[in-house]
Amino acid sequence: MLMHIQAVPPARLSLVPLLPAQGGMSGALRVLVDMDGVVADFEGAVLRGFSARFPAEPRVELAARSGFSVREQYRGLRRDLAAKVASVYESPGFFLGLDPIPGALEAMQEMIRMEDTEVFICTSPLQKYEHCVLEKYKWVEKHLGPEFVERIILTRDKTVVSADLLFDDKDTITGAEPNPSWEHILFTCCHNRHIQLQPPRRRLLSWADDWKGILESKRRQ
């Protein structure tokens, strides 16, 4: 199997499977779960942080969010607001302080213990990664434990990671591989609720939704 050294803090290096392999080495179902907006509440923290830091500025409420990039939506309100909202999520402590998405921690703990299932957290760091990368590792260790720290994949291109399923709130995921091995399950977040998916694409409304049914249907394919 082709292997790739993932970008991680200096004290921890691990190997990540790349294409063209599909599924786990043992034939297990391999599941990738995005972090921000799927397991950790990025959007809520951005709004709270922006409101606290810039109380006099116009802001985008969660009900009004549209489009994956919060920075670009704030730029649409006023050009200088893009840098201001970015300063919120680029600041030290932001990623470590994110609240868990309701039901996410329980689902992840259940998933990792399912028979014939491999689960990884697959997350993209910010381009300004000074605080982001280390805090993502610390967040996972704090909320999910050391077992999941060994299952973090940090990459700017998720298309090259081999898996069967990817749960992600980004509506369109592109990269070097035009035909990723995984099926993208759109996880519902404030910015993608309005998107109408065309079959055979699927959506998970929340962790209270039937995520187990999605895994089982994929096993049968």
Instruction: Say whether 99 is catalytic.
Output: no
Full domain range(s) for residue 140:
29-41+95-220
Catalytic (active site) residue 34: yes
20: pLDDT strictly greater than 50: no
Residue 130: inside a domain: yes
Is residue 10 included in any domain, yes or no? no
Q: What percent of the chain has pLDDT over 70?
A: 88
Taking 90 as the threshold, does the pLDDT of residue 15 lie above it? Answer: no
Q: pLDDT class for 17, splitting at 50, 70, 90?
A: low
Q: Is residue 2 part of a domain?
A: no
pLDDT > 70? residue 14: no
Query: Please, what is the average pLDDT of the chain?
Result: 92
DSSP classification of residue 123:
E
Domain presence at residue 117 = yes
Q: Report, as an integer, the average pLDDT of 66-86.
A: 99
What's the pLDDT score for residue 160? 99
Percent of the chain clearing pLDDT 90 (strictly above): 88
**Long-range Cβ contacts of 191-195 (<8 Å, 24+ apart):** 191/37, 191/43, 191/65, 191/66, 191/67, 191/68, 191/70, 192/68, 194/66, 195/171
121 lies in some domain: yes
Q: How many domains are there within the chain? A: 1
CATH code of the domain covering residue 172: 3.40.50.1000
In a domain, 85, yes or no: no
Residue 81 forms part of a structural domain: no
Q: With 60 as the cut, is the pLDDT of residue 196 above it? A: yes
> Is residue 207 assigned to a domain?
yes
